[in-house]
Amino acid sequence: MKKVIFYLIEDEAQLADKLLLPHEKLACEKIIASWQQGFRILVNCQDQLQAEKIDEYLWQQDSASFVPHNLVGEGMPSGSPVEIAWSGKKGNNNRHLLINLQESFPEFATMYREIIDFVPFENRLKMLARERYIAYKNVGFNLKTINVKA
């Protein structure tokens, strides 16, 4: 069964961070938790700048939260357990989990059994998340929404 979990950010205050937007910080928390559960992960970023911010944030974690990761095209040919890609840069698809930060529906989504996506607090991004939700549903994913409160 293919599934998508959407995290709906109801209040950005708790997730505030000087480097990352709230949904980006939450994505990093999900990356760390998913890797600790043994998942190989592709993080699908909107652009190279966002990918570099996620990369930098993951490098800044303490040793207990360290996640072996790399930007797409760096590291070993088989890739590290977590690969960070962006639009126009195709990641290695031998992954268990897709964490989507792109504003549009990822055209390769059906290659994954599990996807994590986000509904940011900003209205424009909420509308784009609704469009992704409909697209996931149309290609047969089971959908779940989890509210994230401050």
pLDDT for 48? 94
Q: Which pLDDT tens digit goes with each residue over 15-44?
A: 556 788 889 999 999 999 999 999 999 999
Which residue type is seen at 11? Answer: D
Number of domains forming the structure of the chain: 1
Q: Which pLDDT tens digit goes with each residue over 38-93?
A: 999 999 999 999 999 999 999 999 988 899 999 988 877 667 899 999 987 666 66
| Secondary element (H or E) of residue 126 | helix 123-138
Q: What is the rounded distance in angstroms from the CA atom of residue 125 to the CA atom of residue 104?
A: 10
| Stated pTM of the model | 0.91
pLDDT for 94? 75
> For residue 144, what are the domain limits?
3-148
Give 8 or 150, the one with higher predicted confidence: 8
Q: Which of 140, 122, 119 is nearest to 130 (CA)?
A: 119
CATH of the domain at 72: 3.40.50.10110
pLDDT for 77? 67
pLDDT for 73? 82
